[in-house]
Amino acid sequence: MKLLLLLSLVALAQCLVSRIPLKRSKSLRRELRDRGLLQSYLKLHPYNPAAKFFPTLASSESLENYLDDEYFGTISIGTPGQDFTVIFDTGSSNLWVPSIYCSSVSCTNHKRFNPEKSSTFVSTNDTVEIAYGTGSMTGILGYDTVAVSGLDVTNQIFGLSETEPGDFFYYAPFDGILGLAFPSIASSGATPVFDNMMSEDLVSEDLFSVYLSKDDESGSFVLFGGVDSSYTTNGISWIPLSAETYWQITMESVAIDGETVACASGCQAIVDTGTSLLAVPSSALDNVLSSLGASSSGEVRTAQGFGDLWISCSSVSSLPDIIFYINGDAFSVPPSGYVVEEDDYCVLGIEGMSVETESGELWILGDVFIREYYVIFDRANNKVGLSKLA
C-alpha cells in the first residue's frame, strides 16, 4: 500500500513540474494539499519534499519579450481574478496596478482593477507613492489574493493607482509593476509579493531565478522557488549581496580591451530586471564610450526604448567585450549584447546616470547584462548567482 501511494505521488509530482509554463495553474504543493496527499508526501520525503525526484517545488511564470526592451508576465488579482500584465522588477519592491480610481490619461488604455468586483478585497486608508527612473504613481493600498504563476498569494498588499503622471505608462505595453527587491525599500512599508510567498510556504526554496531571451524570442521566464539546471551547465558563480535593499553587489572593476576603464577602486551595482539598459555613472561614461569609439555629442539619433549613444554599424564586429570583475570572476557582455541595430544606424544599450550611495556612485546591470546570464536571486543566503548562457 505504501509503495502504491509513493508511486502515485511520484507520478503526480512528475506531471505537475513540467517546464511548460501554465498560466494560473496550481502549484505542486497546493495540488497535493487539495488531494489530501501533502502530509503523506512530506512524511515520505522529510528532508526535501522533491529532491529525490525533481529539483524543487517551483512555479514558472512565462514572460513576453517586448522588443528586447521590456519583459512582462500576467498575474491576476481578486476573486474572481482580474488579469494584469506586470514587469517583474528586481529594482523595486511594491506591487501596484491601475485602478478604476485613476484619473490619469495613462490609465485610459490599460486594464484597471475594480475592488467592487472582488469578494476578497480589503480596503485600507493608507496611501502609496512611488517614483521610478521613468514614470511615477500615487494611489491607495488594499489587500487581496494575487495569483502569480499558479501560486495563490493570500492577503497580499498592493497599490491601486490614482495618478500616473506623464506619458511613460501611457505608452508602456504593460499595466503595472511587481517588485522583487527587499522589504527595506518598499514604499509605505508594504510587504513584497515574494516575501509573502515565502511566509505562506508556497515555495520550497527561498529564491527565484530569471531567464531573459534575446532578439524578441520567446521563452523568457521567472521561476519562483527553484533553479532550472538546464540553464546552469556552465556552472554558477555566487556573489554575496553588499546591501539588503536592491539586489546590490560589489564590483572590483570594469575593463575594455584589457584596460580598466571604470570602477578602478571598486564600486556598487544592482542587478535590475526592470532597467532595459546598462546604466553607467555619469563620471565613468566618457571613459567607457571613448574605449568603444562611441560619441555622446554631435548628431543624436534615437531608437525607441534605447539611449542616444550612437556608433557606426560597420564597426560593431570589431568592438571589444565589456568585462565586469565581480567577486573575483570576470563577467563579459559582448558587442552583440550592448549594441542595438536600428535600420541604418546602431545605438549602444548604455545610458549615463548619477545615483549616489554611501559607497559611491551606483551602476545598474539591467537587461543588457542579464540577457547574457541565467540569474538566481537567493533570499535564503542573500546572494546572486550568475551562470553564463550558451
In the chain, where the domains are located: 60-224, 230-388
CB atoms within 10 A of CB 40: 15
Query: How far, in Å, CA of 176 to CA of 85, rounded?
Result: 7
Report which DSSP code applies to 29: H
Greater confidence, 37 or 350?
350
pLDDT of residue 180: 98
169: helix, coil or strand? helix
CA distance 297 to 300: 7
Residue 340, C-beta contacts closer than 8 angstroms, at least 6 positions apart: 68, 303, 306, 346, 347, 348, 349
Q: Which amino acid is at 361?
A: E
Check for a shared fold between 60-224 and 230-388. Answer: yes
Check pLDDT > 60 for residue 331: yes
Average pLDDT of the chain to the nearest whole number: 85
Identity at 107, one-letter amino acid code? C
pLDDT in tens, 96-130: 999 999 999 999 999 999 999 999 999 999 999 99
Q: Is the pLDDT of residue 10 over 60?
A: no
Q: Of the given ranges (9-13, 79-83, 202-206), which has the lowest mean pLDDT?
A: 9-13
Q: How confident is the model at residue 41 (pLDDT cuts 50, 70, 90)?
A: very low
The pLDDT assigned to 294 comes to 72
Structurally, what CATH architecture does the domain formed by 60-224 represent? Beta Barrel (2.40)
Q: Which amino acid is at 348?
A: L
Q: What angle do CA 247, 385, 324 make, to 5 degrees?
A: 80
Please say if 343 is a catalytic residue: no
pLDDT tens, residue by residue, 342-356? 767 788 999 998 877
Q: Which of 12-26, 257-271, 317-331 has the lowest mean pLDDT?
A: 12-26
| Beta-strand pair 95-98/151-163 | parallel
For 142-196, what is each residue's pLDDT tens digit? 999 999 999 999 999 999 999 999 999 999 999 999 999 999 999 999 999 999 9
Where b means 16+ CB within 10 Å and e means fewer, 276-300 reads: bbbbbbeebbebbbebbebebeeee
269 three-state secondary structure? strand
CA distances to 111, 179, 202, 359 from 100, rounded to whole Å, are: 9, 22, 30, 42
Residues contacting 357, CB < 8 A, separation 6+: 268
> Which of 68, 144, 272, 378 is flagged as catalytic?
272
Percentage of residues in the chain with pLDDT exceeding 90? 70
Which H or E element spans position 284? helix 282-292
Report residue 198 as a C-alpha cell: 515565502
Q: Look up 144 and say whether it is catalytic.
A: no
According to the model, what pLDDT value does residue 45 have?
39
Q: What is the pLDDT of residue 35?
A: 59
pLDDT at 155: 98
- Per-residue pLDDT, averaged over 201-208, amounts to 96
211-248 in b/e burial notation, b at 16+ Cβ within 10 A?
bbbeeeeeebbbbbbbbbeebbeeebbebebbbeebbb
pLDDT in tens, 282-326: 999 999 998 987 755 433 333 333 445 788 888 888 999 999 999
Compute the average pLDDT of residues 2-26. Answer: 35
Nearest Cα neighbor of 269 from 294, 234, 245, 238 is 245
pLDDT of 55 reads 38
Q: What average pLDDT score do residues 197-213 get?
A: 97
Q: Is residue 380 within 8 Å of residue 287, measured between CB atoms?
A: no
The count of residues in the chain is 390
DSSP conformation letters of 184-225? GG-GGGPPPHHHHHHHTT--SSSEEEEE--STT-S--EEEET
Q: What is the pLDDT of residue 18?
A: 32
Choose the catalytic residue: 68, 89, 144, 175: 89
Indicate if the alpha-carbon torsion angle 382, 158, 365, 242 is positive or negative. negative
What integer pLDDT is reported at residue 303 of this predicted model?
A: 36
The pLDDT of residue 212: 98
| Mean pLDDT of all residues in 29-41 | 51
Note the pLDDT of residue 342.
73
pLDDT at 9 over 80: no
Instruction: Choose the CATH number for 230-388 among 2.40.70.10, 3.30.530.20, 2.40.50.140, 2.60.40.1930.
Output: 2.40.70.10
Structure confidence at residue 390 (pLDDT): 84
pLDDT of residue 156: 98
What is the rounded radius of gyration, in angstroms, for the C-alpha atoms of the chain? Answer: 22
DSSP calls for 54-91: SS-S-EEEE-EEETTTEEEEEEEETTTTEEEEEEEETT
